[in-house]
Amino acid sequence: MDNRVNVTFLLIDGYVELHKYRYLYFVIMSTVYILIICSNSTIVYLIWNHQNLHEPMYIFIAALLINSVLFSSVNYPKLLIDFLSQQQMISYSACLFQYFAYYALSGSEFLLLAAMSYDRYVSICKPLQYQTIMTKTNANVLLVAAWLVSACQIAVPTILSAKKKLCASTLKGIVCNSTFQTLHCVRSTVLNVYGLVVLVNLVILPTIFILFTYTRIFIIAYRSSREVRRKAAQTCLPHLIVLINFSCLLVYDVLLLRMGNEFPKIVRFIMTLQLLMYHPLFNPIIYGLKMKEIYKHLKSLFCKMP
């Protein structure tokens, strides 16, 4: 018997006690979204507005924060609409777009962190060659590549998913992430294998590269003067903290695809909210407070406010 269904809209069935707490959810998430936009945009504005921050390291930070704003803007408006709606639904095409943007921006996060680690490696380990290697053109190439490579690789499973037949129309989550693939009538071997390739290309290899470069940086810094060690700790530790934070959240997303049915509904709901809330807020806090030059301009900005 053919169980395939002609799906135009998907029912979203990942919320917990929405009928009871819808207004509380809405207030909390709208407040968080405003904080994400304001905090990330403030740091980006400071980097854009101050000439001494027009260096590759700060440009990469600005790109990372813009990436967080884009990631939030793909997910938050739909969440806020769902909180106030009587029935939580999303069109099939909108779900595919959210799926694409969710993973394309997540992948670019790792590639941007890899570009930042390379910039710090050249700055600390090859200071005399820094101006030659990290030119404005090379920095722009790394920026474009971080977004373009990720988008191109995620476009493939998105297109393949669009052609797959669905045997269910109820999404066991609140956003179209890896849970979307559980609606397929047959789990595709091609999609699974390609998913592993994408995971290696966009997550594992960049993470290995980041850890390798920072290991080299800390070894050289340990053998150098106190000033070099201070510079290494000041500029590298925030990047490592951001990497660890995002990697831990991504582990949940990978496990969700492999063990989705074994996670209670409330666990899926809470973990997804953490992924959507913590990381976009975490980045501007870390870079705003831990990067000395940014913190100096941030402090100056707020001191001037009436």
Per residue in 14-42, is it b (16+ CB within 10 Å) or e — as a string? bbbebeeebeebbeebeebbeebbebbeb
Are 87 and 206 in contact by the 8 Å Cβ rule? The answer is: no
The pair of structure tokens assigned to 251 is 């582990």
- In three-state form (DSSP H/G/I as H, E/B as E, the rest C), the secondary structure along 41-103 is HHHHHHHHHCHHHCCHHHHHHHHHHHHHHHHHHHHHHHHHHHHHCCCCEEEHHHHHHHHHHHH
Per-residue tens of pLDDT for the chain, all 306 residues: 444 555 678 888 888 888 888 999 999 999 999 999 999 999 999 899 888 888 888 899 999 999 999 999 999 999 999 999 888 889 888 999 999 999 999 999 999 999 998 998 898 888 888 889 998 899 999 999 999 999 999 999 899 888 888 887 888 888 888 777 778 777 777 888 888 899 899 988 998 998 898 888 888 877 777 777 777 777 777 777 778 877 777 777 766 666 655 667 787 888 788 888 888 888 888 877 777 778 787 877 777 655
Domains and CATH numbers, the chain: 9-304 (1.20.1070.10)
Are 171 and 191 in contact by the 8 Å Cβ rule? The answer is: no
Reported pTM: 0.88
Are 11 and 90 in contact by the 8 Å Cβ rule? The answer is: no
Q: Which residues pair with 91 in a beta bridge?
A: 9
